Amino acid sequence: MTIIAAIDPESIINAAGILKEGRLVALPTETVYGLGADATNATAVAAIYTAKGRPSFNPLIAHVSDLSQATKEAYFSEIALKLAEKFWPGPLTIVAPVSSKCSVCDLARAGLDSVALRIPADLTAQKLISTLGRPIAAPSANRSGHISSVTAAHVGSDLFGKVDLILDGGPTKFGLESTIVSFCQPEPILLRAGMVTRETIESFLNQRIKSAADYKIIAPGMTASHYAPLATLRLNALDITEDEAAIDFGGQLIQFQKHSLWMRDLSPTQNLTEAAANLFTYLREADRSGTKKIAIAPIPTFGLGEAIQDRLIRASASK
């Protein structure tokens, strides 16, 4: 059931309660509507990908309510801070290396060591984030492949039945997504053109900004927008060799557990939402176990399984 609610103090408290329970709320921002989940809850974030029907796990923007929350999540260079102070709250997203206190879950970051942060200017969005007291992960509130939603009715037509609550804040002010600038390299990189123009940023910083396209240095986990495990992955494994760690799904490899160096099951009950929520954390843990090879059990190719497979295929191809 999807409820569309007008904005008032009660609907915002209700929305925060829904998010706290790990469910989804579509919220207005000044750019486009976002499909929000508690960014610290991987199972809730997995539900975003299910609702959008996204065949892959793109990293999401974590929306925060103030600068102190932002600087708790990530390391801001001097220049990143300067940009944040100038354009926040507003349609600018800053990608920065995660801090040791980062609360945004691995799945929302697609396993990356960086996090995309934005303080929206929309007051409803701000109140919802501060009431929740946690960052809200929110991609644009549309079905995968459709255009972004700029009214609650658009959200409803794409996501009715897939989101618990739509906060109707009327048409969004800008109707175009935020500008994304990354500070994970020595110099800032424009990852996505958006509401704040390149010219505005360049003249404010008094320097030229590179685009992702003309930035040729590919350091794994830096410009590449995907986490690549250090170990080699063997997909659709039906057994485990002695030199392999293993990531199972639904107990398919359990009989080999005694041979394996390290083993986890993405979801013993074959629940794909649970599997998605665990994916990046387990890949990292497997890496940390020191193994050079990871055997991965077959994952179903329907529903969220498609996105999990997509991610694993990219990770195995990056070797």
Q: Which parts of this chain interact with ligand TXA (CB under 6 A)?
A: 29, 31-32, 34, 58-61, 91, 93, 95, 109, 112, 114-116, 118, 138-140, 177-178, 180, 182, 191-192, 225
Residue 262 CB, shortest distance to ligand TXA, in Å, is 27
Using the minimum distance from each CB to ligand TXA, give the nearer residue, 23 or 260.
Answer: 23
Residue 245 touches which of Mg ion, ligand TXA, none (Cβ within 5-8 Å per kind)? none
Residue 308 CB, shortest distance to ligand TXA, in Å, is 18
Residue 128 touches which of Mg ion, ligand TXA, none (Cβ within 5-8 Å per kind)? none
In whole angstroms, what is the distance from residue 112 CA to residue 53 CA? 21
Among 297, 302, 313, 172, which residue's Cα sits nearest to residue 247? 297
Using the minimum distance from each CB to ligand TXA, give the nearer residue, 129 or 253.
Answer: 129
Q: Does 140 bind Mg ion (CB under 5 A)?
A: yes
**Cβ-proximal residue to Mg ion, closest one:** 140
Residue 93 CB, shortest distance to ligand TXA, in Å, is 5
Question: What interhelical angle do 78-87 and 198-205 show, nearest 10?
Answer: 120
Do 275 and 102 form a contact (C-beta atoms < 8 A)? no
Residue 123 CB, shortest distance to Mg ion, in Å, is 22
Residue 138 touches which of ligand TXA, Mg ion, none (Cβ within 5-8 Å per kind)? ligand TXA
Q: Does 69 bind Mg ion (CB under 5 A)?
A: no
Residue 43 CB, shortest distance to ligand TXA, in Å, is 19
Using the minimum distance from each CB to Mg ion, give the nearer residue, 27 or 261.
Answer: 27
How many binding residues for Mg ion (CB under 5 A)?
1
Residue 26 CB, shortest distance to Mg ion, in Å, is 13
Residue 114 CB, shortest distance to ligand TXA, in Å, is 4
Do 67 and 73 form a contact (C-beta atoms < 8 A)? no
Using the minimum distance from each CB to Mg ion, give the nearer residue, 54 or 311.
Answer: 54
Biggest CA-to-CA distance, the chain: 62
Stretch that binds Mg ion, among 34-42, 140-148, 182-190, 252-260 (CB under 5 A): 140-148
Do 188 and 182 form a contact (C-beta atoms < 8 A)? yes
Residue 54 touches which of Mg ion, ligand TXA, none (Cβ within 5-8 Å per kind)? none
Site for Mg ion in 245-284 (CB under 5 A): none
